[in-house]
Amino acid sequence: MFVKICGITNAQDALLSVALGADALGFVFASSPRQVTVDQVRSIHSQIPSSVMTFGVFLGERPEKIVEITHTLGLSGAQIHGNYLPEQIDHISERVMYTVRAIVAGRERLERVKSFSAWAILVDSPSPGSGQVFDWSLVEAVPERTKMIVAGGLTPENVKEAVSVLRPFGVDVSSGVELEPGKKDPMKLRKFIAQARSSDDIDSDDLDVRSRKDAVSDDEDVVPYNWEIGR
């Protein structure tokens, strides 16, 4: 189970997340109580092992700016929120590796993801970083063979159920592991990652849902790009 901890604002939280087993960290460059600057991320990033993926998080940002920041900092990729044209996505994907974020605004919009070849899509609630859980039944509209990362109101208490029901490639959390906006809670972090990982051996045959994990391609050469659905 791929686990991404989002809304990292300081080295202490970053290093603790890594020590507890996070696969990826997210830095929010959009306007937010968790907003960070390029200089802050440069300092944090220099302390993180290269085995950990790092994503800049952008909301409606110009593709050129996303590429600039991602490259300047040497981040693994970008998590993009907002409406982008496929050619804009292509522009970014030539330079960076990033996840795709899906704003759940309806089944028909989720189905649009079919026209993009994503590294992954991040299915989230309409209001990112808000801690709101979305209607999980919408996930049924996400195409097969899509690396799906689930976000939106996940907590140490509900992440196991989310994984059991949705069978995602990964999970993403921000406010659900915070003491206050911008500061992570070590106990919640520990429990969240443990709970997410404890779901790895669930037998999907026992569940009345298709196994997205099984549907994920092992082909890591797939050209990655980032896209958001909705808005």
Ligand X SMILES: O=C(O)c1ccccc1NCC(=O)[C@H](O)[C@H](O)COP(=O)(O)O
Residues of the shown chain interacting with ligand X in the complex, contacts defined by CB under 6 A: 6-7, 26, 28, 30, 32, 34, 57, 59, 81, 124, 128-131, 151-154, 172-176
Q: What does the DSSP 8-state code read for residue 158?
A: T
* Active-site residue, 203 included: no
Q: Which entry of 23, 39, 124, 203 is annotated as an active-site residue?
A: 124
- Specify the residue, 130 or 201, whose C-beta has the smaller distance to ligand X: 130
> Do residues 9 and 207 lie in contact, with contact meaning Cβ atoms separated by under 8 Å?
no
- Best CA proximity match to 7, nearest among 187, 223, 174, 215: 174
**In angstroms, rounded to a whole number, what is the distance separating the alpha carbons of residues 148 and 140?**
11
HSE-up of residue 114 (Cα within 13 Å, Cβ side): 9
d(CA 8, CA 174): 8
Q: Which residue's Cβ lies closest to ligand X?
A: 129
| CB 208 to ligand X: min, Å | 26
Q: What is the CA radius of gyration of the chain?
A: 16
186 Cβ contact partners less than 8 Å away, ≥ 6 residues apart: 16
Question: Which CB, 96 or 210, lies closer to ligand X?
Answer: 96
Cβ 56 to ligand X shortest distance, Å: 11
Instruction: Kindly report the backbone phi and psi dihedral angles of residue 78, in degrees, each rounded to the nearest multiple of 5, phi listed first.
Output: -130, 140
Q: Tell me, yes or no, if 124 is annotated catalytic.
A: yes
Residue 68: CB minimum distance to ligand X, A: 18
Amino acid at 9: T
13 vs 124, which CB is nearer to ligand X?
124
Q: Which residues are part of the catalytic machinery? A: 6, 124
